[in-house]
Amino acid sequence: MAYDSFIELTTTAVPLPIENVDTDQIIPARFLKATERTGFGDNLFRDWRYHTDNSPKNDFVLNNPTYSGKILLGGKNFGSGSSREHAAWAVYDYGFRCVVSSFFADIFKNNCLNIGVLPVQVSPAFLNVLMEEVFSNPKAEIKIDLKAQTITLISTGAKESFDINDYKKDNMLHGFDDIDYLINIQKEITVFAANTPL
Partner 1 sequence: MKKTLFDKVWDSHVVRSIENGPDVLFIDRHMVHEVTSPVAFLGLKNRNIKVLYPERTFATADHNTPTLNQHLPVEDPLSAKQLKALEENAHAHGISYWGLGHEKNGIVHVVGPEYGITQPGATIVCGDSHTSTHGAFGAIAFGIGTSEVEMVLSTQCIMQPKAKKMRINVTGSLQKGVTSKDVALFIISKLSTSGATGYFVEYAGNVFSEMSMEGRMTVCNLSIEMGARGGMMAPDQKTFDYIKDREFTPKGIAWDKAMTYWKTLYTEANAIFDKEYSFDGDNIEPMITYGTNPGMGMGISKDIPMAKDIEGGVSTYQKSLAYMNYNEGDSMLGKTIDYVFLGSCTNGRIEDFRAFTSLVKGRKKADNVTAWLVPGSHQVEKAIKEEGLLAILEEAGFVLREPGCSACLAMNDDKVPAGKYAVSTSNRNFEGRQGPGSRTLLASPLVAAAAAVTGKVTDPRTLLS
Residues forming the site for partner 1 (CB under 8 A): 1, 17-20, 22, 24-25, 28-30, 32-37, 47, 52, 75-77, 80-86, 88, 103-107, 110-111, 114-115, 165-168, 177-179, 181-183, 185-186, 188-190, 192-193, 196-198
**Which of 102/144 has CB closer to partner 1?**
102
**Which of 155/192 has CB closer to partner 1?**
192
**Closest separation between CB of residue 107 and partner 1, Å?**
6
**Which of 80/94 has CB closer to partner 1?**
80
Parallel, antiparallel, or unpaired for β 8-11 and 98-101?
unpaired
**Closest separation between CB of residue 197 and partner 1, Å?**
6
**Closest separation between CB of residue 1 and partner 1, Å?**
6
**Closest separation between CB of residue 119 and partner 1, Å?**
13
